[in-house]
Structure 1
Amino acid sequence: MAERQVIVKAEVGLHARPAATFVQTAAKASLDVTIAKGSGQPVNGKSILAVLALDVRQGDSVVIRAEGEGADELLDQLAGIASAP
């Protein structure tokens, strides 16, 4: 299982538009995707409600994981979304 640890830079954190973009990108892939805030429990990265429930704010660290062929490329995309200012 591949993973990326990212510091969220967006002023709004991973809420509203950034969360929707993250979930839409994850949902396009056939891979299992999870995201966890800090060392917390991972949630389904394809669920907008689960991602919003993490309450990720600017400066928080998240761990994104994906399993399967193409996981590294998908994680690069998702990490870019999560770390965009």
Structure 2
Amino acid sequence: MNNTSKTNWEKLDSLSEEEIDTSDIPPLTEEFFSKSRWWKPVSSLSVLVKIDPQTLAWFQSQGEDYEQKMAAALRIYAQAHQVESE
């Protein structure tokens, strides 16, 4: 799970608005907005979960946001197995 960006952020930050190519972005139409919907993100819960020390150490080695990565891994697992239980 290495999400290191290969984007040259310094070059991107140095571009002016006129230099940014937006030709591949479709215009926002009334149809787009008629199909869109607002949603409020579900707030997260704090729970106590027992995990082995090696698993925790691995997630911690992935960076300061290791808790979010653990939550994402659980969400992916749950979604992958949701079809089986339905």
TM class by shorter-chain length?
under 0.3
Greater Rg over alpha carbons, structure: 2
- Structure with the largest fraction of helix: 2
